Amino acid sequence: MLKDLAVAFLAAVLALVGWGVREKIERARRVAAVRTAIGVEIASLVELIRHQKYADEVRAHAAAIRAKGPEFGYPVVCIPITHSYFSVFEANANLVGELHTSDVVRIIAFYQQARSLADSLSKGGTPDNSVLPVQEAASRYDAIASAIDKLCDLGVALSSELASKPVLDQLAGVALQLRPNA
């Protein structure tokens, strides 16, 4: 009887250890999948921002404000954002915390900055150069353009750390195929 109890106890311990090892392997798989998915989404966003030349458009607008002064009137740079471009991040927000702390900090910083820039480039967030002094309106647009460049730089660095080079190369190929006149 004591022998049967010892065997049952040993079986329970082995089952618990096996379950723990399986959970650790599953967690590592989930973390790797989330890292790759978020890395691809960030790389896709950077590709879109750079291809659309948003920073250049905003800088050109600042230059036009400076060149034309108060006669430039009301026009603002407004990039309509009709829905979220962060679907992978939002769908996996509950798993982001399982990543390494340094990744979590940079990922969240990237998405918060991207959301802030989206707000800045919406109709309600863009500087109204009809009520602001010329230099202040132009400087605000220059600051937005600089923030777009910094966001893209962070995105490139972050995506290359989160997703493998073959995955990012595959994404670049798909992005190239999707471009107009490609």
Which pLDDT tens digit goes with each residue over 61-72?
889 888 887 777
- Looking at residue 65, what is its pLDDT? 87
* 116-144 mean pLDDT: 77
* pLDDT over threshold 60, residue 83: yes
Cβ atoms of 151 and 108 closer than 8 Å? no
* Helix or strand holding residue 12 (H, E): helix 2-52
Number of domains the chain contains: 1
Listed in order, strand segments (DSSP E) in 68-111 are: none
* 100-120 mean pLDDT: 91
* pLDDT over threshold 90, residue 120: no
* pLDDT over threshold 60, residue 182: no
* pLDDT over threshold 70, residue 56: yes
Rounded to whole angstroms, what are the CA distances from 174 to 27, 44, 167, 177, 179?
29, 10, 11, 5, 9
pLDDT interval class at 138 (50, 70, 90): confident
- Looking at residue 131, what is its pLDDT? 67
- Looking at residue 41, what is its pLDDT? 95
Task: Pick the more confident residue, 76 or 133.
Answer: 133
Phi (first) and psi of residue 49, to 5 degrees: -60, -45
Boundaries of domain holding 111: 2-178
- Looking at residue 123, what is its pLDDT? 65
* pLDDT over threshold 70, residue 128: no
Rounded CA gap, 108 and 173, in Å?
Answer: 27
Least confident window among 6-10, 21-25, 80-84, 132-136: 80-84
pLDDT in tens, 5-38: 888 888 888 888 888 888 888 888 888 999 999 9
* 48-64 mean pLDDT: 90
Least confident window among 7-11, 45-49, 178-182: 178-182
